[in-house]
Amino acid sequence: MTKIDLFGKLELDNKKLMLIVIVWIVIIYIDFTYLMKMQLNSFSVSGKKVVYLKRDIADLNKELAQLKDSQGNLKDAATKKARRIIKEEQMPDLLQKITEIANNNKVVVTKIDPSREQKTKEATVVQIPGLSPIFIALDLVSDYHSLGSFIAGLENIEEFVAVQDFYISRQDKDYFKEKTALVLRTYVAR
C-alpha cells in the first residue's frame, strides 16, 4: 500500500464520515424543528391543564367539606323542625300561603281545589287517628325550574304538606311553559 492509496482511502473515509455527520445533523435539525417543538407545545398545554385540574380538585375538596358541614346542620335542623298539623279553620290560610309561594316562584295557579276525597287511586293514604286527610288539587302553569322552586318552597313551610301526585304536560301555546296537575296532601285536626 502506498501513501497515495492510503490517502485516497482516508479521503474516502472522510467523505463517508462527513456524509454520516451531515445526515445526523439534518435528522437532529428536523427533530428539533418539528418534533421537539410539538412535544414542548404539548408539555406547556398539559402543564396548564395540570394547574387547572389541581385548582379544581382543591375547590372540590373545599366544597365537599362545606357540604359535609351543611349536611350535619341540615340533620340538626330536620330534627328540630317538626311539621305542624293545622286545624280546619286554618285551611284558608294554608291555601293563601301556597298561592304566595307560587307567586314568588313565578308559577301561575289556574285552579286550587281542596277536597277530603282522594282523586287518585294509585297511592294509599295513611289514616291517623284524630286527623283527616285533605287533598289540594292544583292546576299550574310554569317552566320546570319554577315548578322545582315552588315544590322546594312547599317543603320549607312549617305546615305538613306532601306531594301526593303530579302530572306534567306540554302547553300548546308556549313551549317553554308546562301545565302541571299537582295533588298535595295535608292533614287537619278533627
Residues with pLDDT less than 50, the chain: none
Q: What is the pLDDT of residue 129?
A: 81
Give the model's pLDDT for residue 141.
Answer: 92
Chain segment 51-60, per-residue pLDDT in tens? 888 888 998 9
Between vectors from CA 74 to CA 93 and to CA 124, what angle results, nearest 5°? 55
Q: What is the pLDDT of residue 76?
A: 61
Q: Evaluate whether 137 touches 113 at the Cβ level (below 8 Å).
A: yes
Cell digits of residue 103: 307567586
Report the predicted TM-score, pTM, of the whole model to 2 decimal places: 0.56
Sequence-ordered list of residues with C-beta below 8 angstroms from that of 123, at least 6 positions apart, any chain: 164, 165
Digit-coded pLDDT (tens) for 68-90: 887 776 666 555 556 788 888 88
CA–CA distance, 164 with 150 (Å, rounded to integer): 15
Q: What are phi and psi of 5, to 5 degrees?
A: -65, -40
Task: Determine the pLDDT at residue 34.
Answer: 78
Q: Residue 179 forms beta bridges with which residues? A: 141, 169
